[in-house]
């Protein structure tokens, strides 16, 4: 597909080839350079489409915008039947789209081509930047499209895409484990350490009369793509039984888990929550975490052209 950008430059949308890896990596790195806790990806990450393929997608395609050089790209796929938090209906998926902030026409051509591609596959709906299909080297776990990539966010909105999920992120650099008194409840603590290929997970459970009443899952070195990932711990789950809300069991569990991670050499801590969970956001902010990013997934129903 060839189009004119209005300034005489011809924009050509072509399939990815391995020889484009360095330029595609450059486009990706320029897109994420202002994001907190996102780090440049080497060209090897994009050496082949198989290198970045997602196990929960089929028919993946990487389309590149070329105008002499490479100006941007869009990565597409079709979702497999949904599991857990994945979107139902096997929609088309935009995993990532990158283009320069000052060149809206490039982004528009990529988005138009992405939607045409989705229609060719008979998809009635297209999802963009859903964390279930994120690059494994992009951001923390569960991250959708960062608000820091504002021009892509605006382009999606202008084209009829709407938020369908959100996750906000907090970080605590050089944290000191907070002091938290044990609640006046009868319970036992169960420390379950699991060693995986990329790092360590602590599942800290509060058990009362053989029933779990609270849990805090903390990961060390596995949730961030950062080069210094071993310095980070990330809480990806914290919950307390409804009947015990307000008795500071959650504070105690999180503080205990942070203390355990500090013993293992963690310097920095991160945590996230749903964008509408204001209670959790206040809790994390009051404890010592600081807001660093808001991320959103997008969706659009596709009509006929």
Q: Read off the CATH number of the domain in which 144 is found.
A: 3.40.630.30
Question: Residues 158, 223: one domain?
Answer: no
Same-domain status, 87 and 231: no
Residue 38: the pLDDT is 86
Is residue 279 included in any domain, yes or no? Answer: no
280 burial via Cβ count (<10 Å: 0-12, 13-18, 19+) = middle
Phi-psi region of 160 (alpha: psi -120 to 50; beta: other; left: phi over 0): left
Q: Structural domain tally of the chain? A: 2
Could you tell me the sign of the dihedral formed by the alpha carbons of 305, 60, 93, 81, in that order?
positive
Q: What is the pLDDT of residue 229?
A: 78
Residue entry with tokens 């790209």: 73
Q: How far apart are the C-alpha atoms of 254 and 32, rounded to whole Å?
A: 30
* DSSP 8-class letter at 196: -
Domain check: are 86 and 198 in the same one? no
Q: Within a domain: residue 178?
A: no
Written as six digits, the tokens of 118 are 């989705």
Same domain for 159 and 200, yes or no, is no
**Cβ count within 10 A of residue 285:** 12
Residue 248 lies in a domain: yes
For the entire predicted model, the pTM comes to: 0.90
Partners of 77 in the β-ladder: 93
Asked if residues 144 and 97 have their Cβ atoms less than 8 Å apart, the reply is no
Count of C-beta atoms within a 10 Å radius of residue 290: 11
Q: Which residues does the chain have with pLDDT short of 70?
A: 1-9, 196-198, 223-225, 304-305
Tell me, what's the pLDDT at 84? 87
Give the per-residue pLDDT at 304: 57
- The predicted-structure confidence for 41-94, as pLDDT tens digits, reads as follows 999 999 999 999 999 999 999 999 999 899 999 999 999 999 988 999 999 999
Is 274 inside any structural domain? Answer: no
d(CA 249, CA 261): 18
| 45 and 124 co-located in one domain | yes
Q: Is residue 94 located within the same domain as residue 196?
A: no
> 158 and 252 in one domain?
no
Determine, yes or no, domain membership for 80: yes
Instruction: Supply the range of the domain harboring residue 243.
Output: 188-266
User: How far, in Å, are 29, 73, 74, 135 from residue 60 at the CA level?
Assistant: 21, 13, 11, 13
Same domain assignment for residues 140 and 202: no
Same domain, 25 and 139: yes
């Amino acid at each position: 597909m060839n189009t004119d950008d209005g300034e005489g430059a011809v924009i050509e949308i072509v399939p990815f080839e391995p020889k484009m890896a360095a330029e595609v990596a450059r486009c990706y790195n320029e897109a994420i350079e202002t994001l907190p806790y996102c780090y440049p990806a080497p060209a090897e990450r994009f050496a082949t489409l198989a290198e970045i393929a997602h196990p929960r997608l089929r028919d993946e395609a990487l389309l590149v915008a070329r105008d002499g050089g490479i100006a941007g790209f869009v990565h597409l796929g079709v979702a497999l039947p949904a599991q857990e938090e994945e979107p139902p209906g096997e929609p088309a998926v935009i995993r990532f789209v990158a283009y320069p902030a000052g060149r809206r026409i490039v982004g528009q051509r990529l988005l138009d081509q992405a939607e045409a591609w989705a229609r060719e596959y008979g998809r009635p709906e297209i999802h963009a930047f859903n964390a279930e299909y994120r690059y494994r080297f992009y951001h923390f776990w569960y991250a959708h499209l960062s608000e820091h990539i504002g021009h892509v966010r605006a382009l999606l909105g202008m084209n009829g895409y709407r938020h369908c999920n959100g996750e906000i992120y907090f970080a605590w650099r050089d944290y000191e484990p907070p002091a938290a008194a044990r609640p006046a409840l009868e319970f036992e603590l169960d420390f379950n350490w699991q060693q995986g290929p990329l790092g360590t997970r602590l599942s800290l459970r509060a058990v009362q009369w053989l029933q779990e009443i609270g849990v805090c899952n903390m990961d060390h070195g596995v949730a961030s793509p950062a080069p210094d990932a071993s310095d980070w711990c990330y809480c990806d789950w914290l919950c307390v039984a409804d009947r015990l809300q307000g008795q500071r069991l959650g504070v105690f569990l999180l503080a205990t888990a942070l203390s355990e991670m500090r013993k293992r050499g963690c310097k920095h801590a991160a945590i996230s929550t749903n964008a509408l969970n204001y209670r959790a956001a206040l809790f994390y902010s009051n404890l010592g975490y600081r807001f660093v990013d808001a991320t959103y997934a997008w969706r659009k129903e596709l009509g006929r052209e």
